[in-house]
Amino acid sequence: MNTSYTHQMLLSELTSLAKAYPEIKMTTIGHSVKGKPIPAIKIGKGDVKLLYVGTHHGLESISSALLMKFLSELCGHFEKRNIIYGIDPYYIYETRCIYMIPMLNPDGVELKRQSNANGVDLNHNYDAGFEEYKKLEKELGIEGPAPTRYSGEHPESEPETRAICSFIRSLAPFKYLFTFHTQGEEIYSGYNGYEPKSSVNVAKTLSRCSGYIHALPENAASYGGLKDWYVKEFDLPAYTIECGKGENPLPLTDLSNIYITLRKMLFTTLTV
């Protein structure tokens, strides 16, 4: 059973979509430890910016496939002017600027582990509670590079996190940032007990649309993440979406059911 949506699959699908829909603008925000390009997509020409990020963790590449399925359907609605969940795609295209980084950690996908090629867990490598997490690392017995949960020598020590932080700083503010992980069917918001304005109300809306629970992350997962850094750095809402249920890596055969469950929520993120 194929459990990975690979970097090559992503590049191939992006190339096909860009040919079919000239509205898609592609760029590379940087490269992984092993030199793989980290692509980003832009679509729409509005002033309201949104950012969607997938696959911080190599065993969670189904999140990249989920974002690509969303992007593909969205482009189809732009072309056909279909109204979906009461949303006019022309209005979205004219008023929103949608950015996606579908796969931040291509090396982890190739190596079939959560961390990147340096053994760093990218979602603990941001400057948000980094020193506090270092203390917790020792309690967990993590002394250095590991398949998961090692935060690195310092915030943004890794080329992947440096690339996305630089990308965000160059384009901020994004009205909302959404980062997709697996698994648990939960939505996390805020950072260290703090919620930016409207953050909780939006999380509740996303919860209603998906059936996912708006929850607090476990202690070891609540430091050094992209969501945490964005909230801390910009005082704007950011969300971690834990997609699906089971044991990582979730098989690609789960993709259709996950997408069906999250479809209304994904389209709602465009207008919420």
pLDDT in tens, 59-94: 999 999 999 999 999 999 998 888 999 999 999 999
Query: Do residues 206 and 267 touch, judged by C-beta distance below 8 A?
Result: no
Measured between alpha carbons, how far is 42 from 61 in angstroms, rounded to an integer? 20
Which backbone phi and psi does 64 adopt, to 5 degrees?
-70, -45
| 240 within some domain | yes
**Cis amide bond preceding 114, omega within 30:** no
Give me the mean pLDDT over the 152-167 stretch.
98
| 258 within some domain | yes
Q: Is the pLDDT reported for residue 1 higher than 60?
A: no
H or E element: which one contains 183? none
Residue-wise pLDDT for 129-157, tens only, equals 999 999 999 999 999 999 999 999 999 99
| 2 within some domain | no
Measured between alpha carbons, how far is 272 from 269 in angstroms, rounded to an integer? 5
Distance from chain centroid for Cα 211 = 19
Q: What is the model's pLDDT at position 58?
A: 98
On the 0-12 / 13-18 / 19+ scale of CB atoms within 10 A, 74 is buried
pLDDT tier for residue 4 given thresholds of 50, 70 and 90: confident
Q: What is the DSSP letter of 213?
A: E
**pTM of structure:** 0.97
| 96 within some domain | yes
Q: What is the model's pLDDT at position 2?
A: 61
| 1 within some domain | no
CATH for 102: 3.40.630.10
Q: Is the pLDDT reported for residue 208 higher than 60?
A: yes
| 245 within some domain | yes
Q: What is the model's pLDDT at position 79?
A: 87
Q: Which amino acid is at 66?
A: L
Residue-wise pLDDT for 98-108, tens only, equals 999 999 999 99
Q: How many domains does the chain have?
A: 1
Domain that holds residue 234: 7-268
